Structure 1
């Protein structure tokens, strides 16, 4: 079998899948290559490698490609690890916590079933902070996840291990999930593309439940085309799901130029007024806005659509979510201080207060929709600063300060979880900070259900501005 001339780990998901389907390389050879790379993990990406499972899946994929190619799936042979908050049958799950013993599930979560149906190879589980709660990935169960741009700095969270794995080219793509920025923030820290899809577009079924609708699964990739292709894989409803409109092919729509759009630009922090915004983050937005205007999109300024205190409903629901983790009382002390603090806050939220918090989020959604009805897309920084040094946000002595520091660093992402609308992080800009070249992402937020249009706009920007890489001007 001929070997592709480009290094396998330099190929994205679509290019790698094409090489496997053309029989230039086998799924088994691809899997062995990426397992060898993953074994050298020095970015805190993986909690466990599932070599036996991955090799078995690769052999099955090669057999299907020989005997029934249509059944092999559109991404046959593409390694795609799964975040360690999502169940994979037979593979230990730790959920980022030392307070619980590892669990070995007997079923695959719905997104894992869909990824396998598409032909991807489950290489292993990626690192996450305790129950996915903070925006940094520094679990007590393993090393911190760091960005390959500067291994002293965080890969973000809670899909930090997934982002580190893709950015370090240990895998071409990785599964992640996002309840308040947990795909987009790590993507920004690691110079990747990350989409939080419209609420309900990617189902948690059949074994998961949507809860208040803040969280959704997605992927981290190196370009928009791969993100669109994976969304085609994951945007499949399960019985009982509420229908969400979707095109026949996100990938096809994303490959076409977008229509002329009205783009609103917002750089003021939404949920943490007065938080400093790094000049490079502002320049990233300015550069993207100028480029959009130069190709015919209408660009206008925006003001925050709600007072910052309106966001507190999200904080209350987040705390109740932390309380929902099944931790026996005798193991509470093993939890991280931040998790214990959030759970105590959750206990203080009465049933009536929780209902009112959900109502407040619905009201905020209406305020956002009303205030921004004159634009199609909202452009903001993804984060207020550069990727931060490991440990800089974590404050075990003062969990309240820890939480406050996280919101100051990430004052835009969670609004799109509250509204349920899609939001896309793009790696379009990089600058030197403290002697190291670091990524500064921009965030595009769209109307509910406009995921394909958002991806098309992202692809247009990506084509015009390119994707910066570490150490390159």
Structure 2
């Protein structure tokens, strides 16, 4: 049979034995090879993937007919091909962190999140392109060609999960796990016309491997989540990610999110706040384009048509946010140890902001962390008045490849904050949020169209409900 287009369709075919894991793996490896110009992958681990697929097929073949009929007889993602950002260790593959300034050791073991998905039955095809150290909203570095947007290869697919999003959007992967510390799942999902779920802190147990706060007392910003073409596909991967332990062991999958999405038609009557306010407005204007505003308004209209109650949310953001987030986001660079002379191999952006982080006292970093904790509590209080809050997604169309790096570091950072003015605040809050494609708009620089989307922010534990709303908005 042909390979199904959706991850859920592929998942069902693999479990039913209509398609082998090796056949699925070979299919996607061919797709990756055919679209190398997208720069989606830094490393492809074809031999390792085919060996894993063989073991998955042998495991299924060893089951009796009765055992195959039981859902728990196979792991929840049996034979499903995935790939991981090159910010995490995958056993047998080099870890580059997207940096020419650091060694690229071949990992002897898996990152806890990778281990959990491997134990859930997935097959890793390789490592996807990222910005250096995962810092930026675009996926360009000094070690590999830039990741390109399949919708317009002259434009960025965003970052830091840009390689993963490009791969999913181009059909090189059925679905992909991403990580999000300031918008790194949602930004590329919006840029590529995908659904991207930023989970709440702790919804994926392996995200708490290093605790709920960082080294300077700030909220832990980075969490994991799925990047997918459909809400069902995102729910399938989220269920597997959520049903794991910090030790990487799979727990019995409940399928809660996938069941919720399949019952999305019944969801109605939510109180949804709508707002275009951004905390970055305290530092500079937020240039919300006509296309971005239209996507936000269209999302609001569709939600109202589904019977939800929409209200203008009078949100007031703490004016300390831009400075506190900027310090907190870059504080970890002060802990980055480099070999002699390696600093010159950093991209200028990283080098500049590392110098700034090193020049700040520990007291300054701790004060920013404390401010972010206070801001997080205020964000949860304000947004908590609603079942969900609807904001714009990205403020403008994806910039061209090289547009950010051509700027001095300070201007580069400001452009990132202007483009993704609604994402990082959710990381500070620790709440879940989802990026959803809403419209197709004319591409002003090439034939065809480009996607524009919106963001929904939820309450703690509301990931299944956010996926339901995404299903409603994309139906």
Same fold (TM over 0.5): yes
User: Counterparts of 1:183 and 1:274 in 2: how far apart (Å)?
Assistant: 24
TM-score normalised by length of structure 1:
0.91
| 1:158 aligns to 2:160 (yes or no) | yes
**For 1:155-234, what aligned pairs fall within 5 Å after superposition?**
155-204=157-206, 211=214, 212-234=219-241
> After TM superposition, where is structure 1 displaced by more than 6 Å over at least 4 residues in a row?
none
1:381: Cα distance to partner? 1.4
Q: For residue 112 of structure 2, what is the aligned residue in structure 1?
A: 110
Q: 2:121 aligns with which of 116, 119, 122?
A: 119
User: Counterparts of 1:355 and 1:240 in 2: how far apart (Å)?
Assistant: 30
User: Counterparts of 2:319 and 2:139 in 1: how far apart (Å)?
Assistant: 26
SS at 1:369 equivalent: helix
Q: For residue 469 of structure 1, what is the aligned residue in structure 2?
A: none
| 1:442 aligns to 2:454 (yes or no) | yes
> What whole-Å deviation, never above 9, does each CA across 1:219-265 have from its counterpart, x for those lacking one?
21111111111111111453699xxxx98722222322324211111
Q: For residue 378 of structure 1, what is the aligned residue in structure 2?
A: 389
1:367: Cα distance to partner? 2.0
Whether the 8 Å contact between 2:221 and 2:428 is mirrored in structure 1 is yes
Q: 1:269 aligns with which of 278, 283, 286?
A: 278
| 1:47 aligns to 2:42 (yes or no) | yes
Distance 1:104 1:209, change over 3 A: farther
SS at 1:442 equivalent: strand
Q: For residue 343 of structure 2, what is the aligned residue in structure 1?
A: 332
| 1:25 aligns to 2:30 (yes or no) | no
User: Counterparts of 1:207 and 1:422 in 2: how far apart (Å)?
Assistant: 18
Aligned residue-pair number: 452
For structure 1, the residue ranges without an aligned partner over 5 or more in a row are 464-473
Q: For residue 413 of structure 2, what is the aligned residue in structure 1?
A: 403
| 1:427 aligns to 2:429 (yes or no) | no
RMSD of the TM alignment (CA)? 2.0
| 1:286 aligns to 2:297 (yes or no) | yes
Q: 1:140 aligns with which of 139, 142, 160?
A: 142
User: Counterparts of 1:419 and 1:313 in 2: how far apart (Å)?
Assistant: 13
Q: For residue 28 of structure 2, what is the aligned residue in structure 1?
A: 34
Distance 1:239 1:259, change over 3 A: same
> What whole-Å deviation, never above 9, does each CA across 1:278-297 have from its counterpart, x for those lacking one?
11111111111011112211
| 1:128 aligns to 2:137 (yes or no) | no
User: Counterparts of 1:307 and 1:205 in 2: how far apart (Å)?
Assistant: 27
SS at 1:375 equivalent: coil
Q: For residue 299 of structure 1, what is the aligned residue in structure 2?
A: 310
1:157: Cα distance to partner? 0.4
User: Counterparts of 2:226 and 2:336 in 1: how far apart (Å)?
Assistant: 24
1:181: Cα distance to partner? 0.2
1:323: Cα distance to partner? 2.8
User: Counterparts of 2:384 and 2:85 in 1: how far apart (Å)?
Assistant: 35
| 1:72 aligns to 2:74 (yes or no) | yes
Whether the 8 Å contact between 2:200 and 2:432 is mirrored in structure 1 is yes
User: Counterparts of 1:380 and 1:247 in 2: how far apart (Å)?
Assistant: 30
